[in-house]
Amino acid sequence: MFERPDAGERAVLVQLDLNQGALDERLSELKLLALSAGASVEAVVGGRRARPDPALFAGRGKVDEIAETLRAHDADFVIFNHALSPGQQRNLERALQCRVVDRTALILDIFAQRARSHEGKLQVELAQLDHLSTRLVRGWTHLERQKGGIGLRGPGETQLETDRRLLGKRVKVLKERLAQIEKQRRVRRRGREGRNVLSVSLVGYTNAGKSTLFNSLTKAGAYAADQLFATLDTTSRRLFVGEGSNVVLSDTVGFIRDLPHALVAAFHATLEETANADLLLHVVDSASEDREAQIEAVNAVLTEIGAGAVPQIMVMNKIDLTRAEPGVQRDEYGKIVRVFLSARTGEGLGLLREALAEAAHDAATDAPGDPVGIAPDFTDKDPIQT
């Protein structure tokens, strides 16, 4: 088994046209993913196929071209902008004599680098083990060190069987720890619901500007950067929106097209916060030429996690790059459906606050019992320590 790519290693990217459309945008996104993982992009190999080759995905002729490109650029490994089966990955690595990383493994690698909280690290590790469990050939002996190593192997057990048993134990431990964290999250959520506080979640495509908007509204100082998946850990803050109204605003992980199912499953507790929100602020990079496809990708993930029916206000961000004017759009019922602003310059932020105040007022008017009250100022982080 090959080692994980180190920062600065040279990569050859492979993007095949399988009639999925938006090839330029997909390739641009792959380059950003590779750079975010710490690789340098040396060359790109393209091509067209009606369908993937069952054994090599790209076909023998294309694999020979990739091999020549590897040698010409003295590259270290290959990144496919596609999901490869375990068999395809093994066959490609034998043919190319180098590491082959597919889109899923690349995204998981970036998540592993970005995770900061205890919960985030557990979620990423669980997703990685789920993805790699079908690719077990050898190389899982590093798990033995976590359990003491010598003396673990049963009589007559092969190395592969030992590795699978160790991996299964680790997965069980991770799931137990995450279940404990999820219980604590439910307790916090019930506390917020008891105060009748409007819960608002920021959602959107990765690098759309969610964390920048979160910081501009709350002055929270959450990490924000011009890179993919800068935010993995959910952070929540109280936000005063006027006339005694408060909301709890949460910054969440960004979505991406073809988000690995292993990540969605591992992050289900975190993503559940989005599904349980009263309102979603769907942040869109209005300067992106691929914004419509990105909106569709986000909505697809929202549907997958059970948040498709949660009301949305679309926040068209980065108007400083498009030279659009700040403003709002309402539907035929008078509800605000879009806000045009720039989180970086602050243009239009007041309009978004007014939209949130209007939503909080409507929620307080519609809900029985006490009006929307004051929520505590908190960060939704996991307190469990290892």
205 annotated to a ligand binding site: yes
94 annotated to a ligand binding site: no
11 annotated to a ligand binding site: no
223 annotated to a ligand binding site: no
Instruction: Kindly provide the b/e burial profile for residues 203-237, where b requires at least 16 CB atoms within 10 angstroms of the residue's own CB.
Output: bbbbbbbbbbbbbbbbebebebeeebbbbbbbbbb
254 annotated to a ligand binding site: yes
210 annotated to a ligand binding site: yes
Q: How far apart are CA 209 and CA 316, in angstroms?
A: 10
335 annotated to a ligand binding site: no
Say which residue the tokens 């959450």 belong to. 222
Q: How far apart are CA 203 and CA 108, in angstroms?
A: 19
Distances (CA, A) of 26 to 7, 90, 143, 229, 271: 23, 24, 35, 16, 25
Q: Which residues lie below 8 Å from residue 132, measured CB to CB, with a gap of 6+?
A: none
Alpha helix (H) residue ranges in 38-117 = 60-73, 86-96, 103-114
* Nearest in space to 229 (alpha carbons), one of 200, 259, 249: 259
209 annotated to a ligand binding site: yes
158 annotated to a ligand binding site: no
81 annotated to a ligand binding site: no
Q: How far apart are CA 116 and CA 229, in angstroms?
A: 12
Instruction: Kindly provide the b/e burial profile for residues 146-170, where b requires at least 16 CB atoms within 10 angstroms of the residue's own CB.
Output: eeeeeeebeeeeeeeebbebbbeeb
305 annotated to a ligand binding site: no
334 annotated to a ligand binding site: no
342 annotated to a ligand binding site: yes
40 annotated to a ligand binding site: no
333 annotated to a ligand binding site: no
Q: Strands 312-317 and 245-251, how do they pair?
A: unpaired
172 annotated to a ligand binding site: no
232 annotated to a ligand binding site: yes
Cβ contact 276:235 at 8 Å: no
* Nearest in space to 220 (alpha carbons), one of 205, 233, 207: 233
Instruction: Pull the structure tokens for residue 386.
Output: 């290892």
211 annotated to a ligand binding site: yes
- What 3-state class would DSSP assign to 271? helix
204 annotated to a ligand binding site: yes
112 annotated to a ligand binding site: no
251 annotated to a ligand binding site: yes
* Nearest in space to 2 (alpha carbons), one of 105, 99, 137, 125: 99
253 annotated to a ligand binding site: yes
Cβ contact 342:317 at 8 Å: yes
The binding site for GTP comprises 204-211, 229-233, 251-254, 317-320, 342-344
The binding site comprises 204-211, 229-233, 251-254, 317-320, 342-344
The binding site for Mg(2+) comprises 211, 231
